[in-house]
Amino acid sequence: MSETIQGAGGHEPYGERLARAIGQRGPLCVGIDAHPAIMDAWGLPQTPAGLLRLSMTVIEAAESRVSAVKPQVAWYEAHGSSGMAVLEQTLEAAREAGLLSIADAKRGDIGSTMEAYAQTWLSDGSALAADAVTLSPYLGAGSLAPAFELAEATGRGTYVLALTSNREGASVQHVGGRESVASGVVKAVEARNSHASRATRTDSDQIVINPHGLVVGATVGSSPQAVGVDLADFSGSVLAPGYGAQGATAEMLGSVFGHVRGRVLVNSARGILREGPGLGQLRRAMDSATRELEPFLAVA
């Protein structure tokens, strides 16, 4: 069994914990995505009780096998206060299992409202605090400063939407060609990383992972080059959703993210969850995905 990955409460920088997790367990992040089709396939009711069962089963299967889990916050919010209570339990269970947690909340706002979102997802005193949270930069990347600052102060991380794999995203993110909106987001996040107080290295002192990362879809293909995004010089981590059910293969991931190996988390939700609900089946699916990814994204 691999070493437990310390949670954020110890204030060890997120990048350091992430680098250790990827080094020990590989780049797989399992999405906890309570899509109605998954719930039905598992024979679970679309209720808070069913949501809790799904969440706890995924975490039990993932323990000691993968680097992180990513609860899709919208499915918890859909159940109101009871669903958010389940999310609190889910994040706590991930901590106890030694798994890094990424709250996929995609928050973005300005001023005091952004400060409130930051407190919710990144402060030590919040029951909803995760190891990292996804953020939307489309009110201006500078509007995310409260989240950046709090993440740095508490040893947590952020993932900013940069180049997503949904077709609609191109209408905003690709605008400007090689001086695109997406490239501007990447530059803004890297500028924040350059001023972060907790730039970290792995024990081997080879890989630097700063606290603020990017969301870049696993199915983007050659889009990064076309819109002026060069991940080779980016010092944070990259969260890459879309592996498995959304069509991205390990070979595709290797071609897009091979030059940031050791700093990429590959998310698979339905591709793993459709193998459930049995623990053994889920574990085999996770192990199979990790083996498939290893030749392309393993730390050199």
Q: Which residues are catalytic?
A: 106
Q: What does the alpha-carbon distance between residue 179 and residue 229 come to, in Å, rounded to a whole number? A: 9
Q: Are 39 and 76 in contact (CB under 8 A)?
A: no
Q: Are 34 and 75 in contact (CB under 8 A)?
A: yes
Of 281, 276, 273, 279, which is closest to residue 30 (Cα–Cα)? 273
**Beta strands 68-71 and 100-107: pairing type?**
parallel
3-class DSSP state for residue 290? helix
Structure tokens at 31: 């999405």
Per-residue exposure over 169-188, b if at least 16 CB sit within 10 Å of its own CB, e if not: bbeebbeeeeebbbbbbbeb
Q: Rounded to the nearest 5°, which phi and psi values hold at 71?
A: -65, 130
Q: What does the alpha-carbon distance between residue 186 and residue 195 come to, in Å, rounded to a whole number? A: 15
Q: Are 36 and 21 in contact (CB under 8 A)?
A: no
Residues 6+ apart with CB under 8 A from 112: none
